[in-house]
Amino acid sequence: MNTDNSIFDPADFLAKTGLGRRIVKLKPKQVFFSQGNPADSVFYLQKGRAKITVVSERGKEATITLLSSGDFVGEESIAGAVGLRMATATAITACTGLKIERAEMIRVMHEEHAFSDLFLKFLLARSMRTQADLVDQLFNSSEKRLARILLLMAEFGKPGEPETMIPQITQETLAEMIGTTRSRVSFFMNRFRKMGFIEYNGRIHVHKSLLNVILHDQLPEQNAEKPPIVGLPEAQPRAAGRA
């Protein structure tokens, strides 16, 4: 706990350098850490977008999640003894992050309840997102999975106005994330554009109407219902079934 008269401010802690923490700046495609590196620190993403990828023993790469400002990454470093990174974190856009050494992360979690509360909320939100991703893969069509990923990237459902213009991302990466082929992603993207759900000219501009694919099942010849995107307003769980 704090021994002086100052009040610990988690936002201030995550915004500044200090003992055991420093600011790092990455250009697009640079890595925060690579799979197999020692898991010796946690990163807090202050600005930018990043992705988490894994590579199998046979060399196949898969994107498992996307990150935006306010996310932690590399939290496995505080789980037990120091091990190895199980994934790679790569900047999609120019990123600014706070690198927090393992010992400092453990110290502040033990001593500052405000910080441990904030970090626990993040972990719970990530766990819910992971469960939603699993349900999405098990029960929904690849077309709906693509719509969900685009909405998540545009930050629909988060406080404030969505960004709508999402960072540059390849169709190959989108295909990896939803478990389909690049050609199917291309087909769905063209379909979304014709229906007025997105604009696509190098960068993808996502319209709120794309929510109709998720919440109201408004796609021709699509009958499957879908669990809501976590945190989206007015979204209510419904029975899930295959498309």
What pLDDT is attached to residue 116?
A: 95
Q: Which has more pLDDT, 215 or 198?
A: 198
Lowest mean pLDDT segment, chosen from 4-8, 55-59, 125-129, 170-174: 4-8
Q: At what angle do helices 171-178 and 182-194 cross, to 10 degrees?
A: 100
CA angle, 224 as apex, 218 and 226 as ends, to 5°?
Answer: 85
What pLDDT is attached to residue 231?
A: 41
What's the burial of 177, exposed, middle or buried (CB within 10 Å: 0-12/13-18/19+)? buried
Please give the class, per CATH, of domain 10-126. mainly beta
CA angle, 173 as apex, 54 and 166 as ends, to 5°?
Answer: 120
Indicate the DSSP class of residue 154. Answer: T
Q: Which has more pLDDT, 218 or 239?
A: 218
- The CATH 2.60.120.10 portion of the chain extends over 10-126
Q: Which has more pLDDT, 242 or 60?
A: 60
Residues 205, 164 contacting (CB under 8 angstroms): yes
What is the spatial distance between Cα 175 and Cα 182, in angstroms, rounded to a whole number? 5
Token code pair at residue 226: 């879908």
- 50-55, strands of its sheet edge to edge: 31-33, 88-91, 50-55, 61-67
| Amino acid at position 182, single letter | R
Q: Is the pLDDT of residue 190 over 50?
A: yes
Within 8 A by CB and 6+ apart from 40, the residues are 77, 82, 101, 102
Q: Is the pLDDT of residue 180 over 70?
A: yes
Interval 15-49: pLDDT, tens: 999 999 999 999 999 999 999 999 999 999 999 99
Q: Is the pLDDT of residue 163 over 70?
A: no
* Torsion region of 59: left, alpha or beta (phi above 0 gives left; psi -120 to 50 gives alpha): left
Interval 116-150: pLDDT, tens: 999 999 999 989 988 888 888 888 889 999 998 89
Token code pair at residue 240: 């899930």
Q: Specify the CATH number of the domain 140-243.
A: 1.10.10.10
What pLDDT is attached to residue 165?
A: 82
Helices (H), 140-170: 142-153
Q: How far apart are the first and last CA of the chain?
A: 53
What pLDDT is attached to residue 100?
A: 97
- The CATH 1.10.10.10 portion of the chain extends over 140-243
The confidence band for 219, taking pLDDT boundaries of 50, 70 and 90, is: low
Once rounded to an integer, what is the mean pLDDT over residues 93-97? 95
- Count of Cβ atoms closer than 10 Å to residue 22 Cβ: 14
pTM of the entire predicted model: 0.74
What is the spatial distance between Cα 163 and Cα 161, in angstroms, rounded to a whole number? 6
What pLDDT is attached to residue 114?
A: 95
Looking at every residue in the chain, the average pLDDT score rounds to 83
Q: Is the pLDDT of residue 6 over 90?
A: no
